[in-house]
Amino acid sequence: MVGTGKFGSHALMRDSLVASGAEIVTVALRRVDLARAGEGDVLDFVPAGVTLLPNTSGAVTAEEAHRLARLGRAATGSPLVKLEVTPDPRTLAPDPVETLRAAELLIADGFTVLPYCPADPVLARRLEEAGCATVMPLGSWIGSNRGLRTRDALEVIIEAAGVPVVVDAGLGVPSDAAEAMEIGASAVLVNTAIAVASNPVTMARAFALATVAGRLGYLAGRGAVSAPTRAKASSPLTGFLGAQPGTVAL
């Protein structure tokens, strides 16, 4: 999944979306009418074939989120919505109480809800029980590029979840996306890290590869991590420079 904010131009955004290989693209509903002069609407630049996921970015109460979600549904005809309720202007961290309340409102109104949420195992469970299609806990503050600062909580959420877990927000480099997938996330959502890179298209491609790499790493079953005071050689240490070096057949 990728976002659509902060790109230098709509064309650059489009090329980055293509390079990312993302299957889902999220768009802030309140941005749709903010066409850049001479560029046209942001939606005209979303590649064909991807799923459009309207989000409620900017909402600070459940009611505001609901209103935005309904606008999105009216326009797209789809019940999908990424729920964001973020009253804190410093961090744009999601409000756990309003997010749950908004999820209940939206689900009762027929939406398929993908909520951006704190990396909080209890809230994640509650959102799932309320009927959310996914949970989308944050790795670190939106736009911070700080990576997986909530890893302990993400591991618990992933272990317990009965719905897909999408790590959303804060991923700053491709290795962050790989790490999220390695601990079992179902997907990641990236926006700022791509949009503010010197070369967004290349960065989008890098995230695409890292996401697949992390998923394969998860599926491959990583080996154990040693304590700092124990090491094991890759090559057996017996027989070193043994009695018959002449037998080295190289």
d(CA 245, CA 250): 11
Which of 21, 173, 184, 186 is in the footprint of its own copies by CB under 8 A? 173
Minimum CB–partner distance for residue 82 and its own copies (Å): 11
Q: Residue 198 contacts by C-beta under 8 Å, 6 or more apart in sequence?
A: none
Closest CA to 142 of 179, 199, 94, 210: 94
Distances (CA, A) of 250 to 96, 100, 243, 245, 247: 64, 65, 17, 11, 9
Please work out the total of residues on this chain that contact its own copies, with binding judged by CB under 8 A: 120
Binding track over 47-86 against its own copies, x by CB under 8 A: -------x--xxx----x--xx--xx-xxx---------x
Minimum CB–partner distance for residue 133 and its own copies (Å): 20
AA identity, residue 203: M
Residues 9-48 that bind its own copies (CB under 8 A): 28-34, 41, 43
Cβ proximity to its own copies, 134 vs 197, nearer residue = 197
149 scored as a contact of its own copies (CB under 8 A) = yes
Q: Residue 181 contacts by C-beta under 8 Å, 6 or more apart in sequence?
A: 188, 210, 211, 213, 214, 215, 217, 218
Minimum CB–partner distance for residue 94 and its own copies (Å): 7
Cβ proximity to its own copies, 103 vs 134, nearer residue = 103
Which of 81, 102, 167, 193 is in the footprint of its own copies by CB under 8 A? 193
Which of 135, 176, 185, 187 is in the footprint of its own copies by CB under 8 A? 176
d(CA 180, CA 187): 8
Q: Residue 82 contacts by C-beta under 8 Å, 6 or more apart in sequence?
A: 26, 53, 54, 55, 56, 114, 115, 116, 136
Q: Is 82 a catalytic residue?
A: yes
Which of 62, 106, 140, 171 is in the footprint of its own copies by CB under 8 A? 140
Residues 84-103 that bind its own copies (CB under 8 A): 86-97, 100
Active-site residue (options: 66, 73, 82, 126): 82
Question: Which backbone phi and psi does 117 adopt, to 5 degrees?
Answer: -145, 165
Which of 10, 82, 172, 188 is in the footprint of its own copies by CB under 8 A? 172
d(CA 178, CA 213): 6
105 scored as a contact of its own copies (CB under 8 A) = no
Structure tokens at 214: 């992390």
164 scored as a contact of its own copies (CB under 8 A) = no
Structure tokens at 165: 């877990």
The residues annotated as belonging to the active site are: 82
